[in-house]
Each structure stands twice: as structure tokens, then as C-alpha cells.
Amino acid sequence: MIEKMIREARSQRASDIHISEGQAVYLRIDGKLIKSDLELSDEMTRKLILSLLTKESQESIWRGEDADFALETSDGNRQRVNVFCQQGRLAAAIRLLNAKVPTLSQLHLPQVLQNLANEPRGLILVTGPTGSGKSTTLAAMVDYINHTHADHILTIEDPIEYVYEQDQAVIHQREVGKDVCSFAGALRSALREDPDVILVGEMRDYETIQAVITLAETGHLVFSTLHTIGAPKTIDRIIDVFPPHKQAQIRAQLASVLQAVVTQQLLPLASGKGRAAALEIMIANDAIKNLIRENKGHQIDTMIQTGRNEGMTTLNASLATLVNTGKVNRMVAERYSLDVGELRQLIR
């Protein structure tokens, strides 16, 4: 039943499926939630969701915890599933992933992301709201390294989303809850596993953020994600996790290891089919590192605007390009802009 539902959703180019007891099934297509034709009774919905869970996961659900896991269908496609309770009823959100890791060129991402993937060390963050394609962009960057560098790549994910086919690199993928108890635990043991490149699925808490910065300091190339929009807010979020007496030290550490912050948002295309990525790219040059150390994050946006030659771009510049090339409607772009007045000046 679930395989049939997933196949049907994929045929309609859906990115997500929402299943809830007492409600219709909804698909997210090109960013919009659309009611599915599929009708399920409450009993069928409950059985369907429970069929996805192991006995241990069912027990955790009844204790009031969520269940996060990956689901692979018989056609080899993978899905990321979150099962939760709401108003005493079961619900599931299913993210449909690509069977193969797309390349940076297939995603129409700029050359500067490939340049960043060639860096020998440091911290690269891909940020944005839920469903903005962060995991896919990171996977494309990691897979580029896989095909071009004889490195040891270690990923720590919850759950594992993309499974890589080893090429030039040696790849080990650890799933939190299955292969290791926690992000922090996996990061503590990472240094003993001789990695060159480390992908951390998400910087969720103080312990994880601290460990990620330490790994980047010790000469590794570290990739991770945050649910923030824009480089200044990303830096503030990291610093604010730490107690006040540690913040000056963390600013100095972050300034020394940060390579780039890439913020991504997905906008529906003007054609009505598909979505395009709008990016803000901040490369941490000496001037920006200095601003981070001196707590002058509000000046970073100006530095991004003047850093075009280094591959930097503001979100508004990216949005304006999408509008000026006819890919995205002006009104849609304005909804995603953090400064609509500036965006209107950039649009021809």
C-alpha cells in the first residue's frame, strides 16, 4: 500500500506526502500542498503508519516521542519518514528523496560550490528553511569529493538520506539511533576514525556545534546545516548557543574555521512546473572573518554585496536574476526577499 502511494506521488513530482488519521492525504508539489485523490479510512491510515514502524519505534511513539527513519522501497528509492502524534492520533510526513545523488551541474548550482568542495579544511554551512534542498545540495558537494578526491568521508546523519556509491573516496555513513547513540557521541569518536571530510546532518545543540567547530579546527573539512536564513543570522545562532562568557572565544574560533555560509530557498517556477534555487553565498574572506571576531555581523551583508569577484552573491541578487531571466514571477520573488525595496531596484 505504502509503495503504491509513494510511486503515485513520485509520478506527480511530489516532494512530500502527509498522512494523518482523520484527514485526507496531502502531497507537496512544487512547494504547494495539494489534496490527494486517495481516500483512506481512519483504520487504514492507522494500520498504514504502524506498518512503517518497528516495535521499538511504536513504543517510543506511545511514550510521546517522534520516530525518524529512512524507508527504502523495492525500486531502490529512499524516503525520509517522521511519524508523530497529534491530538492523540497518528500522523506521518514522508520526504521523497532522489534515488541517485544529483550533481552540482544537474542542480544548476554555481561553480563556487565546487570550489568550496575542493577546500582542504574548514567549516561549510548550508542553511535555509525546511524543504529548501539543503540535504541535496550538501550531498552533491560530498559526492563531487567522492568522485575527485582520494579522501575518507564520514557522514553522521539522522536518518541517512542519500547513500553514496564509493568512487575515489572511502565513505562511511553512520546513522544516529542505529550505528551510534547521538550526534555528539559520533563526533567525539570521529577523530579516531581518520576522516578527511565529515558531514554532520544538522547542528542541533550546544554539544554538536562545539564538536563541529573543534573538528574543523583540527584540520578537517566539515559540512553541516542550520535552519537559518542569511549568513549574519547563521553566525548569531551559533554564537547565541554558547553562554555569554564563552562567546568571545567562539567568535574567534568560528572566524578561524568558517569557509562559507550558503543560504538556499526554493521558489516555484513561473511555468508552474518545478522549482528554482535562490542562493545567498558568503565566502569567509579576511574582512568577513574580522567582522565575526569583532561582533559586527550587521556589516556582513555589505561585504557580500562587494564580494562578487570572489563568488559571493546576496539573496536579492539571486532572486532578481531569477525574475529578470523569466524563471520566477516577481510577486513570488518578493515573498522570499528579506528586503523587498532593494529587490525592486535590482529587477529590471
**Strand positions, DSSP E, the chain:** 14-20, 26-29, 32-35, 67-72, 78-86, 89-96, 122-127, 152-157, 170-175, 197-200, 221-226, 258-268, 275-283
Residue 71: exposure state from Cβ atoms within 10 A (0-12, 13-18, ≥19): middle
Evaluate whether 216 touches 257 at the Cβ level (below 8 Å): yes
pLDDT reading at 223 higher than 90: yes
Nearest to 331 by CA among 313, 318, 345, 319: 319
State the pLDDT at residue 56. Answer: 86
pTM for this model (two decimals): 0.90
Identify the pLDDT of residue 60: 87
- Residue 184 has a pLDDT of 85
What is the pLDDT averaged over residues 224-229?
Answer: 95
Over residues 154-168, the pLDDT tens digits come to 999 988 989 999 999
Find the mean pLDDT for residues 175-204.
Answer: 92
For residue 60 the three cell numbers come to: 517510543
Confidence of residue 190 (pLDDT cuts 50, 70, 90): very high
- Cα–Cα distance, 214 to 175 (Å, whole number): 21
Portion of the chain with pLDDT greater than 90, in percent:
84
What pLDDT is recorded for position 232?
A: 96
pLDDT at 76: 86
Is residue 1 scored above 90 in pLDDT?
no
Q: Is 36 helix (H, G, I), strand (E, B) or coil?
A: coil
- Read off φ and ψ for residue 247, nearest 5 degrees: -65, -35
H-assigned helices in 153-307: 183-190, 206-217, 231-240, 247-257, 286-293, 300-305
**pLDDT confidence of residue 120:** 96
Mean pLDDT of the chain: 94
Q: Flag whether pLDDT at 39 surpasses 90.
A: no
For the ranges 61-65, 75-79, 158-162, 169-173, the maximum mean pLDDT occurs at 169-173
The pLDDT of 227-240, averaged and rounded, is 96
- Residue-wise pLDDT tens digits, 284-310: 999 999 999 999 999 999 999 999 999
Q: What is the pLDDT of residues 66-119, one digit of tens each?
A: 998 999 999 888 999 999 999 999 999 999 988 789 999 999 999 999 999 999
pLDDT at 348: 78
Mean pLDDT of 110-135: 96
Predicted local confidence at residue 293, as pLDDT: 96
